[in-house]
Amino acid sequence: MCMYLHLESMCAGEENWVDSRTIYIGHREPPSGTDAYIPQRYPDNRIVSSKLIIDTPTSPITSGLPLFFVITVTAVKQGYEDWLRHKADNAVNQCPVHIIQHGKVVRKQSRKLRVGDIVLVKEDETFPCDLIFLSSSREDGTCFVTTASLDGESSHKTYYAVQDTKAFRTEQEVDTINATIECEQPQSDLYKYVGRINIYQDRDEPTAREAFSHSSDLRSTETHFDLQFSMLYANTKTKKSYCIPIEYVFTDKTGTLTENNMEFIECCVDGHVYVADAICNGQILTGTVGMDMIDSSPGAGGKEREELFFRALCLCHTVQVKEEESVDGIKKGLQPCGKSSSVYISSSPDEVALVEGMKRFELMEVLSFDSVRRRMSVIVKSSTGEYYLFCKGADSSIFPRVIKGKVDQVRARVEHNAVEGLRTLCVAYKTLAQDEYESVCKQINTAKLALHDRDKKLAEAFDVIERDLILLGATAVEDRLQDKAADTIESLHKAGMKVWVLTGDKMETAAATCYACKLFHRNTQILELTTKRTEEQSLHDVLFDLSKTVLRHCGSLTRDTVSGLSHDVPDYGLIIDGATLSSVMKPTEEGSSGNYKEIFLEICRNCSAVLCCRMAPLQKAQIVKMIKTSKEHPITLAIGDGANDVSMILEAHVGIGIMGKEGRQAARNSDYAIPKFKHLKKMLLVHGHYYYIRISELVQYFFYKNVCFIFPQFLYQFFCGFSQQPLYDTAYLTLYNISFTSLPILLYSLIEQHVNMDILKRDPSLYRDIAKNSLLRWRIFIYWTLLGVFDAVVFFFGAYFLFDNTTFTSNGQLMTANTNMMFGNWTFGTLVFTVLVFTVTLKLALDTQYWTWINHFVIWGSLLFYIIFSLLWGGIIWPFLNYQRMYYVFMQMLSSGPAWLGIILLITISLIPDMLKKVICRQLWPTSAERIQRIRADKTFERVFTYSHDSLLEESQLTSEA
Amino acid sequence: MMASSYNAKEEDGQLSGAAGSGGVGAGKSKKPDNTAFKQQRLPAWQPILTAGTVLPAFFVIGLIFIPIGIGLFVTSNNIKEFEIDYTGIDPASPCYNCSQTLTWNSTKPCVCKIPFTLEQSFESDVFMYYGLSNFYQNHRRYVKSRDDSQLNGDASSLTSPSKECEPYRTSDNKPIAPCGAIANSLFNDTLTLYYINPNGTESLVPLQKKGIAWWTDKNVKFRNPGGNNFNLTAVFQGTSKPVNWQKPVYELDTDPENNGFINEDFIVWMRTAALPTFRKLYRLIEKKNNMIPTLQRGNYTLDITYTHFPIQCSDYPVRRFDGRKRMILSTISWMGGKNPFLGIAYITVGSVCFFLGVVLLIIHQKYGNRNNSAEIPN
């Protein structure tokens, strides 16, 4: 579909002019003016479909009331959110915008914008989305925009006006434009927009055709926005259900393990090494700090190279200088607009050179960075009229394209730096002749004009241009480890999780970081699966070698499995790079890839730490998927901070985003967002552990209590001629799950803490208690179910024997002297139900190990509520009911001695097996958490009686070390 | 040892792992409040169930339950009970003829006499029950086939009973009062008891028919229509009797306090039994004189008068569904009627608890110390 946009006029003043295409659908407008937009939530109709039984034994109220309850709660919640959204929408829809009509500026409410209106945006204004950038007050037709309202990225992005319209600068001029815009259909990618503008000078013939790509407009229609969010929401929804315990942790390196705060360490020009201190003074002190100098005194040629090198650094980036009144302002006006990978040359060793560079060179083209090419280039024209292409990028992407320069020396230096854990960047250049430049321009422009596959064509063009470079040198910057990153990784290891680091960095750098953050220890035996090795041997041999090594270790491991994972066995660490990985994953004709994959998985399974370097973003997701779908189906967690981690975050069961420097992409796509990597420790070891304990109790208790509830009903059918006669009264059927037994388990699943937070944090091995989903296995589930069945049988047959064949009667002393009254079926049901409610609640009380006042309130309150409700329900002839079957049933039951005795007896019988199981298991096969509880309890006991001053803290530390 | 401890936590008030505050547009912080509840730092009592803690509980349960059980068992055993089946399956049974359909002249009621002997005298008040077997009073469609509004004296329900009563809702285009299957199947055998004096003469044992229903049923739940109008014939004008009844509801008894819907036999019948074998209170035999037992040991005759069903069948027809009819005489105690189950169950549970207590004690002694000592030196 094509959209035609009629542009009537165009204009400019001090401001940026933007044309608009706005579509408002309902109140779905994203409130672009605020940071805190409300995510679109669709009502989730997770309402249990009611059974279609022709002849239902329960009244409509019984089944209807819980349904009504659920619907009401949902409706109120949705309604409230809708109302909030409506308010936010109103605020946005009514915010004023300036548009151009007949050469004049008119103020309008933003909701009255129509497609084709031309909008005037002033500096620091928030403006509606879906605009095409026509013209700017700046000479070069650029403007800076932050997209914080859309994606939270606050960095300034440069946008370029459409070439043919940037000349229209005043209101009157703009008014004269007559053009149509052709563009593609709305799509979900927020940052992409491809279209073509046709400008008509006269009636018919388009005089100029200009293509614009994503850089020349700002867009995101409401529909997209919704799309985007419903998708995310769905993701979140489904993923929440995987509730921990994590077995594999996949982490990004840069920005996740490290600060992503680059510090300039050194550079190497033509083999001469310069360290940061020397440069930071603003002067380049050659020679003074050379470390690995190959040429001790750089000659005149060296000087020239140096100059070129720094010039390249100065020019080859997208750092922009905003024009301020005074020259002093230059420094603070530095606005990094670069994409994620650009190195910030922060404080100004290059200030002078930079300004010089800006003066002497004219920027002609930018071949912007992308993660596939791993490099970027600029083409500049010097004042002397020469054309230069400066290129910088990862060593692996530069070296193959270099034909001249001291490649070996620089390469050696780069490798040395990488081993130190520094991030390296190589710089190269080439000169272009006039005609070369023109052909380059042509190539790029053709590619840019393409409506389809523009990216692909651009990439091809770039590939051709960035060839035959001359190597200038390399820089090295340090990216410090985040606070407590090593501690966190170590804890995760101790907790039995396998940590994988997935990074785009080169192997040496990444390996150094991994040692620094204790992913690998000194005694870790490193297995390498890299291109270097596979060049020597075939992949097949390498894989088999490694698996042999690992299996030997595995054999010794199985002997130790009884005592858990022993620390004495040497750890294995695996390093694999992207290229090897893809060949492992690649399916071959013989179908042996499955085989490779299996061997690879087998190796991975036995390595506690794996480092994957040189990974493309998609490969990260591939790896996660591979592990996720391997035969044990482990639960995976992925953590990352940048856009390149999004795929992996989405792929893993649990995705965690770090809100770092690289925008909110990762955080937006994640299930949980945290500010620092170190928070992962508390999140997994403490909250993860708690949540797991709580959710497993919640799930199993729900099954248990409903088995207890329904199984007597089932048994009763054998005694009522299979006539579906309900055992319990309607009110009890309805309220059992929504009020009598709901709050205690809700509270349990909110605040249960079997072990204190600080102990969990201090002793990561406690996490192994819940490893491999130990609390939600079949064994445990069957135990709970059997317990439920047992209890149900006790309830039912207990009541049965009380009623059957005997005169179970009440001494109605309260009513009349010495009468003996018979009990009917409703009393029978009420007796069973009373025992049921008490047993089920007390069972939870036995499970609760953390009694706050709320627990007391809720547990005893629930029982009290049941009694009060029953008294009330049976105490009145309810006028609106057509049956009075419960009238005085509860009171009559309570006035009978045997009923009391029976209730107490049955509750006791039901609770004994579980209590016994708990005690015996704790005594004979305690989990680590239970040991700790025990020691703490003993300690408290001793402290009370001996006034010992040993702090609990020390004691538990002692245990954690044990 | 008391394995519990109070614990008030002092966590570093740092942000919990959950979604933190917005990094960029930090206008509104999403940081949870630093309250004890939201930071999960509420002071708590942390009891632990260990063998040491649970041991005393088991012993205490054992020590309490066993005496209660013995008490219950003894009490239950002291209760005297006599039961006699009068269904009349056996051709030798006096009731065989009466229980056969169409074998007797349908114009006059059939009476059968069953002699029996009480080996022991019943000292205290005696309760007389009728028992039915294989009678599913708890069948769903049976249980709901009643109209409580009608039984509560509601005038409109009297003339147009609830739909639940179908197919016993109307008869001859007149509403049935009381409607429904439960009322329709009212037990209508008349039981009378004669003591055979040593000299051979029969003397009627006085049976009291009031005070057998719940007080609340009799006085609140069941009400005759028409308020205080005692002329029930007029009140029930325009209604029809249940199809299986011989007499209309206002002729159940001559005593106006026990007639109509508030007839106690009727009320007792309307409380549907929980299980297919049940007994219902029929009459009371009150102790008159402290010197004479309520029922002396000796010979008795039970007279069963089969009420005449004009159309379908003879007696209260249980033979068609393999039912049984019984008459039970029983004394009661503080804990109600004869109930050996409760006593036995208490004794069993008490003993089991005691035994488990001993087992736990052994485990505790044997393994309890090992755990503690094994962990710490490690």
pLDDT for residue A19 is more than 70: no
Of B143, B338, B341, the CB nearest to A801: B341
* B210 Cα to chain A: minimum distance (Å): 10
Mean pLDDT score, A215-221:
34
Sheet holding B190-196, edge to edge: B110-118, B298-306, B190-196, B202-204
**Is pLDDT larger for residue A183 or for residue B373?**
A183
Beta bridge partners of A206: A200
Mean pLDDT of chain A: 72
Among A690-699, A766-775, A822-831, B347-356, the minimum mean pLDDT is found in A766-775
Is residue A430 classed as helix, strand or coil in its secondary structure?
A: strand
Confidence of residue A150 (pLDDT cuts 50, 70, 90): low
Burial class (CB in 10 A: 0-12, 13-18, 19+), A64: middle
Confidence of residue A943 (pLDDT cuts 50, 70, 90): low
**Is pLDDT larger for residue A50 or for residue A834?**
A834
pLDDT of res. A128: 66
A252 assigned to active site: yes
Within 8 A of B37 by CB-CB distance, chain A residues are: 854
Of B15, B44, B335, the CB nearest to A851: B44
Q: What are phi and psi of A518, to 5 degrees?
A: 60, 25
Identify which of A159, A476, A154, A155 has the alpha carbon closest to the alpha carbon of residue A336: A155
CB-based contact B232:B250 (threshold 8 Å): yes
Highest mean pLDDT: which range of A97-101, A347-351, A958-962: A97-101
- The catalytic residue among A164, A252, A645, A763 is A252
Mean pLDDT score, A746-767:
89
CB atoms within 10 A of CB A290: 19
Say whether both B162 and B64 belong to one domain.
Answer: no
pLDDT for residue B103 is more than 70: no
Within 8 A of A915 by CB-CB distance, chain B residues are: 49, 54
So where are chain A's domains?
94-230, 263-287+305-478, 482-677, 693-913, 926-962
Mean pLDDT score, A15-43:
38
Mean pLDDT score, A165-182:
73
* A537 Cα to chain B: minimum distance (Å): 46
B375 in a structural domain = no
Decide if B332 and A807 are in contact by the 8 Å CB cutoff: yes
Decide if B342 and A802 are in contact by the 8 Å CB cutoff: yes
Of A809, A825, A915, the CB nearest to B274: A825
Q: Closest-CA residue in chain A for B216?
A: A888
CATH number of A482-677: 3.40.50.1000
pLDDT for residue A353 is more than 50: no
pLDDT for residue A714 is more than 90: yes
**Centroid of chain to Cα A611:** 21
pLDDT of res. A332: 34
CB-based contact A117:A105 (threshold 8 Å): no
B342 in a structural domain = yes
Say whether both B220 and B135 belong to one domain.
Answer: yes
Confidence of residue A225 (pLDDT cuts 50, 70, 90): very low
| Percent of the residues in chain A that have a pLDDT greater than 70, as a whole number | 69
Amino acid at A412: A
pLDDT for residue B23 is more than 70: no
Q: Closest-CA residue in chain B for A716?
A: B275
**Is pLDDT larger for residue A771 or for residue B77?**
B77
For residue A640, the 8-state DSSP code is E
pLDDT for residue A270 is more than 50: yes
Mean pLDDT score, A170-194:
68
pLDDT for residue B274 is more than 60: yes
Of A673, A898, A924, the CB nearest to B339: A898
Over residues A477-511, the pLDDT tens digits come to 877 888 888 889 889 888 888 889 988 877 888 88
* B245 Cα to chain A: minimum distance (Å): 23
Within 8 A of A819 by CB-CB distance, chain B residues are: 211-212, 215, 284
Mean pLDDT score, B279-305:
88
Written out in words, the top-level CATH class of the domain with range A263-287+305-478 is: alpha beta
Q: For the CA atoms of chain B, what is the radius of gyration?
A: 32
Say whether both B68 and B105 belong to one domain.
Answer: no
Amino acid at B187: F
Of A811, A912, A940, the CB nearest to B5: A940
Strands, E, within chain B: which ranges? 6-7, 44-45, 81-85, 110-118, 126-133, 170-171, 174-175, 190-196, 202-204, 278-285, 298-306, 324-331
Say whether both B208 and B69 belong to one domain.
Answer: no
What is the C-alpha separation between B296 and B283, in angstroms, rounded? 17
CB-based contact B356:B58 (threshold 8 Å): yes
Decide if B214 and A892 are in contact by the 8 Å CB cutoff: yes
Confidence of residue B8 (pLDDT cuts 50, 70, 90): very low
B377 in a structural domain = no
pLDDT of res. B169: 92
β-pairing verdict for A387-393 and A423-432 = antiparallel
Identify which of A17, A202, A165, A221 has the alpha carbon closest to the alpha carbon of residue A99: A17
Confidence of residue B193 (pLDDT cuts 50, 70, 90): very high
pLDDT of res. A187: 58
Range of the domain at B103: 84-332
Among A168-172, A469-473, B276-280, the minimum mean pLDDT is found in A168-172
Over residues A845-888, the pLDDT tens digits come to 999 999 999 999 999 999 999 999 999 999 988 888 878 889 99
* A821 Cα to chain B: minimum distance (Å): 6
Within 8 A of A806 by CB-CB distance, chain B residues are: 337-341
CB-based contact A86:A23 (threshold 8 Å): no
Q: What are phi and psi of B302, to 5 degrees?
A: -105, 120
Within 8 A of B20 by CB-CB distance, chain A residues are: 659, 673-675, 679
pLDDT for residue B41 is more than 60: yes
**Is pLDDT larger for residue A806 or for residue B208?**
B208
State the best of A884, A918, A931, A959 to mutate against chain B, taking most chain B CBs within 10 Å.
A884
**Is pLDDT larger for residue A837 or for residue A652?**
A837
DSSP-derived secondary structure for A328-371? GGGTTTEE----TTPPP--S-TTHHHHHHHHHHEEEEEEEEEET
Say whether both B168 and B301 belong to one domain.
Answer: yes
DSSP-derived secondary structure for A450-489? -SSSHHHHHHHHHHHHS-SEEEEEEEEEEEEEPTTHHHHH
Mean pLDDT score, A759-765:
88
| Percent of the residues in chain A that have a pLDDT greater than 90, as a whole number | 14
Mean pLDDT score, A808-823:
43
Over residues B115-146, the pLDDT tens digits come to 999 999 998 888 899 989 889 999 998 998 99
Q: From the options 1.10.8.60, 2.70.150.10, 2.40.30.10, 2.40.170.20, give the CATH code of A94-230.
A: 2.70.150.10
Say whether both B151 and B213 belong to one domain.
Answer: yes
Confidence of residue A129 (pLDDT cuts 50, 70, 90): low
Say whether both B68 and B111 belong to one domain.
Answer: no
* A66 Cα to chain B: minimum distance (Å): 23
pLDDT for residue A114 is more than 80: no
pLDDT of res. A561: 42
Q: What are phi and psi of B116, to 5 degrees?
A: -150, 165
CB-based contact B128:B284 (threshold 8 Å): yes
pLDDT for residue A962 is more than 80: no
B8 in a structural domain = no
Confidence of residue A209 (pLDDT cuts 50, 70, 90): very low
Is residue A759 classed as helix, strand or coil in its secondary structure?
A: helix
Say whether both B350 and B217 belong to one domain.
Answer: no
**Is pLDDT larger for residue A672 or for residue A814?**
A672
Number of structural domains chain B divides into: 2
**Is pLDDT larger for residue A486 or for residue A156?**
A486
Q: For the CA atoms of chain A, what is the radius of gyration?
A: 36
Over residues A276-324, the pLDDT tens digits come to 554 433 344 443 333 333 333 445 556 677 777 777 776 665 544 433 3
Decide if B16 and A926 are in contact by the 8 Å CB cutoff: no
Confidence of residue A136 (pLDDT cuts 50, 70, 90): confident
Say whether both B58 and B146 belong to one domain.
Answer: no
Decide if B144 and A883 are in contact by the 8 Å CB cutoff: yes
pLDDT of res. A664: 72
Within 8 A of A854 by CB-CB distance, chain B residues are: 37, 42
Say whether both B342 and B260 belong to one domain.
Answer: no
Say whether both B238 and B351 belong to one domain.
Answer: no
pLDDT for residue A231 is more than 60: no
pLDDT for residue A72 is more than 60: yes
Say whether both B201 and B165 belong to one domain.
Answer: yes
Confidence of residue A756 (pLDDT cuts 50, 70, 90): confident
Confidence of residue A202 (pLDDT cuts 50, 70, 90): low
Identify which of A156, A249, A946, A168 has the alpha carbon closest to the alpha carbon of residue A612: A249
pLDDT for residue B73 is more than 50: yes
Among A383-397, A498-512, B311-325, the minimum mean pLDDT is found in B311-325
Over residues B142-174, the pLDDT tens digits come to 998 999 999 998 889 999 998 889 889 998 889
What is the C-alpha separation between A748 and A759, in angstroms, rounded? 20
Beta bridge partners of B285: B126
pLDDT of res. B222: 92
- What is this structure's pTM? 0.74
